[in-house]
Amino acid sequence: MNIRSDFPILKTNLIYFDNGATTLKPQCVIDAIVDYYSNYSANAHRGDYAISHKVDIMYESSREEVKKFINADKVSEIIFTKGSTESLNMIVFGFFKYYLKKDDEILLSKGEHASNLLPWFKLCEEIGCKIKYIPSDINFEVTIENINKMISNKTKVISLAHITNVVGDVRPLKEICKIAHSNNILVVSDASQSAGHMKIDVIDLDIDFLVFSAHKMCGPTGIGVLYGKYCYLDKLLPLEYGGGMNSSFDSLGKIEYKNLPHRLEAGTPHIAGVIGLGAAIKYLTKIGMNNIAEHEKMLKNYAIEKMSKIDNVILYSNNIDSGIITFNLRDVFSQDTSFYLDQYNICVRAGSHCAKILNEELNVKNTCRISFYFYNTKEEIDKLIEVLKNSNDIFKIVL
Amino acid sequence: MEQNLKRSIILDNYQNPIGKGLIVDDTYKKANMKNESCIDDINMMVKVEKGIIKDIRFNAEACAISISSTSIMIKLLTNKTVEKAKEIIKNFENMINERPYDKDILGEAIVYDEIYKQPNRIKCALLSWECIKKTID
């Protein structure tokens, strides 16, 4: 099976190593979206006519796909949002705003993406709860031991990325949930960097809330998922009110709400996005999540081994399990490195990767990040290595 | 200007930038500028006396184009009147944005006259010029 031929963009000589930012799209996902807009572009949950009925079937079957994909208990626990950011904001301002009290503590890490920090900052401003950061160990990883140290009788929630987007460490979510629950603490996880890269089983993890975005797993932009255990999700107050989420209302302002999941999906949804996400999940499942994880790990080890032999390459994360490599060229600003690689059609990300307080721990503000996916190859890494080896002349190329 | 000469002027200004390092002095006006791409970040302080720019200092977390452009700008604008500086800045912006400009007043800054060919670096070249405008406007 030649996976690369599934991706139209790979027919060019592009070497795409920025999968942490977004992934490329396979033809089957593009086709599913075009099929909706070309052949049955009616609204959802509306008409009795045939193409509207087909929309309902396709829309809800995507929800079924998501449920299977993360092994949720019920389809009503799957809410479609515009992405992880919206999902996290709904969790923070629709649930924890009412669940937490003044002085209650939230445990986060400094390696979190802005989307798992800023909503909590705002909530603290609003209701007076407090953020505590779990210190990371020498490999910048969050350990159970350090979490244990930070738990107090005021700790009510732990919110962590499953895999961080800069260092790429995989957090031991199952053990975290176990410790948290034995202390009456809820756990939220941002699975943006993991959902498309490894098998996630929300029942096995026993996670309370989990979010991810479709575009980081071969799906379209503008669509994502909010998963919550039914008992908590049912208490999450909608942040948006309007059509599709009410069953009736009167002129006195009395509203009767629909049940989950529809109560949390006001307005016409991103139908094409949901259908595209369904197609992406089917595609990933066909390839196999474990195969994806293994391939990425193989690529990462291969690249680390070669990169560590290049004198002017500084590596920041060697021992982590995901397909993310963070590095700099000695005495070269990360952005100049990414411009340099771009001259050879190699796409990497430079910057602080939206984790702007991580530099307090990494002691370096800006880095280059390579993030692999299953369509990347050893040959692409060989090309990268060759270009990095020749980087003594970098300013001849970028200036 | 020949490409190799341009490159060596840029590289020299990047590796040995003029005006690097901030000082504690309240007679300077201060400004900060960040690139929207969330990388380049520059702090600048400018001393103006009797309508003349006497000193410009900066520190930055930024790429080679940004830093070199800052250094070249500092050389060009120091000891100029604010009015003249504004004219030079306007001409620099015109050059970067492919509009008519007076190259005779831009000195070394003409090394960026073809930066429009790399659209993703235009903001880097302009960063410090945008920043100083905050202090003299």
Domain count, chain A: 2
First vs last C-alpha separation in chain A: 42
A379 DSSP 8-state letter = H
Give me the CATH number covering residue A355: 3.90.1150.10
Pair A135, A85: CB distance under 8 Å? no
- Residues A276, A227 share a domain: yes
Any A CB within 8 A of B7 CB: yes
- Residues A133, A42 share a domain: yes
CB-CB: which of B39, B64, B118 is closest to A366? Answer: B39
Q: For B110-137, b where at least 16 C-beta lie within 10 A, e where not — what string?
A: bbbbebeeeeebbbbbbbbbebbbebbe
Contact B121 A339 (CB under 8 A): yes
By C-alpha distance, the chain A residue nearest B62 is A333
Question: Cβ-count burial of A19 within 10 angstroms (0-12 exposed, 13-18 middle, 19+ buried)?
Answer: buried
Q: Which domain holds residue A112?
A: 28-286
Q: Which of A286, A308, A339 is the last residue of a domain?
A: A286
- Residues A240, A206 share a domain: yes
Q: Which of A269, A286, A303 is the last residue of a domain?
A: A286
Q: Report the distance separating Cα A31 and Cα A376, nearest Å.
A: 22
Residue B45 CA to chain centroid, in angstroms?
13
Any A CB within 8 A of B16 CB: no
Contact B39 A396 (CB under 8 A): no
Contact B7 A396 (CB under 8 A): yes
Mind giving me the DSSP string for A110-171?
Answer: TT--GGGTHHHHHHHHHH--EEEEPPP-TTS---HHHHHHH--TTEEEEEEESB-SSS-PBP
What does the pLDDT read at residue B37? 63
Contact B39 A398 (CB under 8 A): no
- Select from A108, A102, A118 the least CA-distant residue to A154: A102
Residue A227 dihedral angles phi and psi, to the nearest 5° = -105, 140
Name the B residues in 110-129 with CB < 8 Å from any A CB.
Answer: 118, 120-121, 124
Which 3 state secondary structure label does DSSP give A211? strand
Q: How many CA atoms lie within 13 A of A192 on its CB side?
A: 30
By C-alpha distance, the chain A residue nearest B124 is A335
Which of the residues in chain A have pLDDT under 50? Answer: none
- Select from A200, A201, A144, A151 the least CA-distant residue to A176: A144
Taking residues B24-45, report their average pLDDT: 87
Strand partners, A190: A161, A211
- Select from A127, A136, A130 the least CA-distant residue to A154: A130
Type of residue numbered A138: I
A18 DSSP 8-state letter = B
Domain count, chain B: 1
- Residues A57, A129 share a domain: yes
Pair A335, B39: CB distance under 8 Å? yes
Q: For B15-29, b where at least 16 C-beta lie within 10 A, e where not — what string?
A: eebbbeeeeeeeebe
Residue A18 dihedral angles phi and psi, to the nearest 5° = -120, 45
Q: Are strands A367-371 and A324-329 parallel, antiparallel or unpaired?
A: antiparallel
- Residues A215, A294 share a domain: no
Any B CB within 8 A of A230 CB: no
Find out whether the peptide bond into A220 is cis, omega within 30 degrees of 0: no
Q: Report the distance separating Cα A376 and Cα B73, nearest Å.
A: 43
Contact A336 B64 (CB under 8 A): yes
Q: What is the CA radius of gyration of chain B?
A: 14
Pair A17, A384: CB distance under 8 Å? yes
User: In Å, how far is A343's CA from the nearest CA of chain B?
Assistant: 11
Give me the CATH number covering residue B131: 3.90.1010.10
Q: Report the distance separating Cα A175 and Cα A204, nearest Å.
A: 11
Give me the CATH number covering residue A75: 3.40.640.10
Taking residues B16-28, report their average pLDDT: 95
Given the structure tokens 């060229």, which residue do they identify?
A329
Pair A107, A159: CB distance under 8 Å? yes
| pTM, rounded to two decimals | 0.92
- Residues A165, A85 share a domain: yes
By C-alpha distance, the chain B residue nearest A333 is B63
Which 3 state secondary structure label does DSSP give A317? coil
- Residues A268, A129 share a domain: yes
Any A CB within 8 A of B1 CB: no
Type of residue numbered B46: V
Type of residue numbered B135: T
- Residues A52, A37 share a domain: yes
Q: Is the model's pLDDT at B38 over the cut of 60?
A: no
Which 3 state secondary structure label does DSSP give B53? strand
- Residues A105, A14 share a domain: no
Q: Report the distance separating Cα B54 and Cα B107, nearest Å.
A: 19
Contact B61 A365 (CB under 8 A): yes
What does the pLDDT read at residue A52? 92
Q: Are strands A130-133 and A105-108 parallel, antiparallel or unpaired?
A: parallel
What amino acid positions of A are annotated as catalytic residues?
Answer: 354
Complex prediction ipTM: 0.84
CA dihedral A215, A75, A91, B36 (to 10 degrees): 10
- Residues A348, A208 share a domain: no
- Select from A69, A81, A10 the least CA-distant residue to A196: A69
Given the structure tokens 């996400």, which residue do they identify?
A277
- Residues A372, A254 share a domain: no
- As given in the structure block, the two tokens for residue A349 are 């990300």
Contact A333 B121 (CB under 8 A): no
Pair A227, A71: CB distance under 8 Å? no
- Residues A235, A158 share a domain: yes
Strand partners, A19: none
Q: List Cβ neighbours of A78 (8 Å cut-off, separation of 6 or more).
A: A63, A66, A67, A72, A225, A226, A227, A261
Q: Report the distance separating Cα A164 and Cα A324, nearest Å.
A: 9
CA dihedral B121, B127, B128, B129 (to 10 degrees): 100
Quick: pLDDT tens for B76-134: 999 999 999 999 999 999 999 999 999 999 999 999 999 999 888 899 999 999 999 99
Residue A328 dihedral angles phi and psi, to the nearest 5° = -140, 160
Q: Which domain holds residue B103?
A: 3-136
Q: Which of A261, A286, A311 is the last residue of a domain?
A: A286
In angstroms, the Cα distances linking A48 to A45, A56, A261 are: 9, 10, 21
Q: How many CA atoms lie within 13 A of B66 on its CB side?
A: 29
What does the pLDDT read at residue A320? 78
Pair A66, A73: CB distance under 8 Å? no
User: In Å, how far is A152's CA from the nearest CA of chain B?
Assistant: 36
Given the structure tokens 């520059």, which residue do they identify?
B42
User: In Å, how far is B56's CA from the nearest CA of chain A?
Assistant: 23
Residue A55 dihedral angles phi and psi, to the nearest 5° = -60, -45
